Structure 1
Amino acid sequence: MSVGDAAVSGVRVVKLGAHLGARIEGVRLGGGLDARTVATVRAALAEHKVIFFRDQHHLTEDGQYEFAQLLGNPTTPHPTVTSAGAKSLAIDSQHTRSNVWHTDVTFVDRVPHASILRAVALPSYGGSTTWASTVAAYNALPEPLKRLAESLRARHSNRYDYAAEIEDRTADSDAAYRREFESTYFETEHPVVEVHPETGARALLLGCFVSEIVGVSRSESAALLRLFQDRVTRLEHTTRWDWSLGDVAIWDNRATQHYAIDDYDGSEHRRLTRITLAGPVPVGVDGATSTVIAGDAQPYAAPLERAA
């Protein structure tokens, strides 16, 4: 079913930007959605890359998980952060703030296909999230830079997470979270340009977990990362969402990066719950797949294995 057919089922898709973003109206999320509505949501996600739902106040963690199962195979909450629960990962400002550009969990070989995020507690001001289209970023490159990017590979590691890029936070809870985040070392080499496993579109696979571009000097690696990352974060390639309680966002993790804006004081609390959907190993334009350098993420991606 195409997004254009959505009106037939009473669902309205409101486009938010030329490159990504749509608000979906007329859907009550949960495990009981009919197949036609699920197909509409899938089509909207493939086309718009990040979609938003207002007023889902009825949704619980169990309902969020049951809905996620209709869209794909949920992973365990995180490869290393296992203390938060069995179904979802808490994105909680009391432990960490993901305020740099990133694609989720790129340090493992099977990068998640999508993420489903539900607002549980919000600050009285600020705390919005911005997404960027990595497909639009690739498409905006001049042909010589496209060919260069397609020939490159990058190493991603959980020792290069967003916490390393922001000001040092010394609270005990922050340090404990970081220790758990790095408790098992993961490193994976991915193509810089991935062929999207569902749409076939080409997208830049980068973000803050990248430690280096393979085969060049450190200074050249940094220059190349800046060059390509600047294309990702052009304002024309982004959309921003101001959260309200009851909101749910779903994004295509293989076609976007995102950034949680840290513009609220430490006394304010922001908590959202995230469930990710398993995805296959990335494949480059040349047909070469990603390769594992360190760590075994099979338990994290186990739902995908069981579904095979």
Structure 2
Amino acid sequence: MTTLQITPIGAALGAIIEGVNLAEPLSEGHFAALKDALLQYQVLFFREQPLTPLQQRNFARHFGDLHIHPIYPNVPDTPEVLILDTHDQNLPDNDNWHTDVTFIETPPLGAILAAKQLPPTGGDTLWASGTAAYEALSAPLQNLLDGLTATHDFGKSFPETRFAVSEEVYAQWHASRARHPPITHPVIRTHPQTGKKALFVNDGFTTRINELSARESQALLDFLFAHIARPEFTLRWRWQENDVAFWDNRITQHYAVADYLPHRRIMHRATILGDKPY
């Protein structure tokens, strides 16, 4: 077994990993090393990993059960791998700060994203550390947030109006909406393995802080959404074809920059189910 080479690339999060072929079954040593690296660096990047959907699924399965997205299309023979194919006829919808699939009771532990087709320029992704953002808050604000909960709503990122294009598409959306009513999570989440606290509200799915009035909730959410996007908590990844990113979805947010239209960008994602936030 070769030893992994780990190169940190950001002060708050991020590392490039070399010395492993993700297309092959992981050895126990590589599995343990990647788990440890994910906990330490929060998002890991791998260059020159031309994974098939089946290989991507098998790699993701080392870390847990996989989620099948209720809206995004998936690879026909590998439904655990969804397709993000964006261009001027299918506009991007991930160009906001979000944590994936927080509209379910057990939001994902992590996600593995593979770059399949890239525009000539642009199409970068940014990640932000929820732990760094939390630790930068004043103690009084930390204490306030620790006792609050927030509503996460499927419909915020997947609004009804966007899917009223045909009866078939609308029926899929309506069924998905019925299966995913609004759900409550803590505003501050404790990582189940490290014990560190992290900000766990995101502009993609969080609609209000439950214990506050509507005006108070909106004002505080606006502050928190802007706070986590501060440059010192973030990194920006410039994709190359066959890059793979693996992030800890429990304590990070990300933003897919939509600056490449009318060119096309195709990404494949496998999403690993997690546990109930506390």
The two structures have a TM-score, normalised by structure 1, of: 0.81
Shift in alpha-carbon separation, 1:182–1:218, aligned structure 2, 3 A = farther
- The equivalent residue for 1:202 is 197
Shift in alpha-carbon separation, 1:239–1:112, aligned structure 2, 3 A = same
For 1:117 and 1:198, the matched residues in 2 are separated by: 23
Q: Please give the residue correspondences for 1:21-40 in structure 2 after superposition, counting only pairs within 5 Å.
A: 21-40=14-33
The question of whether the paired residues in 1 share the 8 Å contact of 2:131 and 2:196 is answered with yes
Deviation at 1:218, TM superposition (A): 1.9
1:193 and 2:188 correspond? yes
Letter in 1 for 2:272: L
- Greater strand share, structure number: 2
Instruction: Percent identity, please.
Output: 39
- The equivalent residue for 1:68 is 60
The question of whether the paired residues in 2 share the 8 Å contact of 1:56 and 1:248 is answered with yes
Deviation at 1:9, TM superposition (A): 3.5
Moved more, 143-152 or 84-93: 84-93
The question of whether the paired residues in 2 share the 8 Å contact of 1:159 and 1:182 is answered with no
SS in 1 for 2:261: coil
For 2:21 and 2:150, the matched residues in 1 are separated by: 40
1:228 and 2:221 correspond? no
SS in 2 for 1:88: strand
- The equivalent residue for 1:45 is 38
Q: How many residues align?
A: 267
Per-residue CA deviations over 1:77-131 (Å, capped at 9, x if unaligned) read 21x2264241211112144430000000001110100000001111111000000
Per-residue CA deviations over 1:62-83 (Å, capped at 9, x if unaligned) read 00111111222222x21x2264
- The equivalent residue for 2:96 is 100
Deviation at 1:44, TM superposition (A): 0.8
Deviation at 1:29, TM superposition (A): 0.6
For 1:172 and 1:184, the matched residues in 2 are separated by: 16
For 1:190 and 1:12, the matched residues in 2 are separated by: 36
Unaligned runs of 5+ residues in structure 1 are 1-7, 284-308
Per-residue CA deviations over 1:244-275 (Å, capped at 9, x if unaligned) read 11100000000100000011122x11111111
- The equivalent residue for 1:84 is 74
Q: Please give the residue correspondences for 1:1-308 in structure 2 after superposition, counting only pairs within 5 Å.
A: 9-57=2-50, 59-75=51-67, 77-78=68-69, 80-81=70-71, 83-85=73-75, 86-94=79-87, 95=90, 96-161=92-157, 180-181=172-173, 183-185=175-177, 186=180, 187-207=182-202, 208-266=204-262, 268-283=263-278
Shift in alpha-carbon separation, 1:229–1:49, aligned structure 2, 3 A = same
For 2:185 and 2:81, the matched residues in 1 are separated by: 26
Shift in alpha-carbon separation, 1:152–1:84, aligned structure 2, 3 A = same
For 1:176 and 1:10, the matched residues in 2 are separated by: 50
SS in 1 for 2:66: coil
The question of whether the paired residues in 2 share the 8 Å contact of 1:31 and 1:70 is answered with no
Shift in alpha-carbon separation, 1:181–1:23, aligned structure 2, 3 A = farther
For 2:49 and 2:170, the matched residues in 1 are separated by: 31
Shift in alpha-carbon separation, 1:170–1:36, aligned structure 2, 3 A = closer
SS in 1 for 2:37: helix
SS in 1 for 2:270: strand
SS in 2 for 1:44: helix
Per-residue CA deviations over 1:127-157 (Å, capped at 9, x if unaligned) read 0000000011110000000011111110000
Deviation at 1:180, TM superposition (A): 4.1
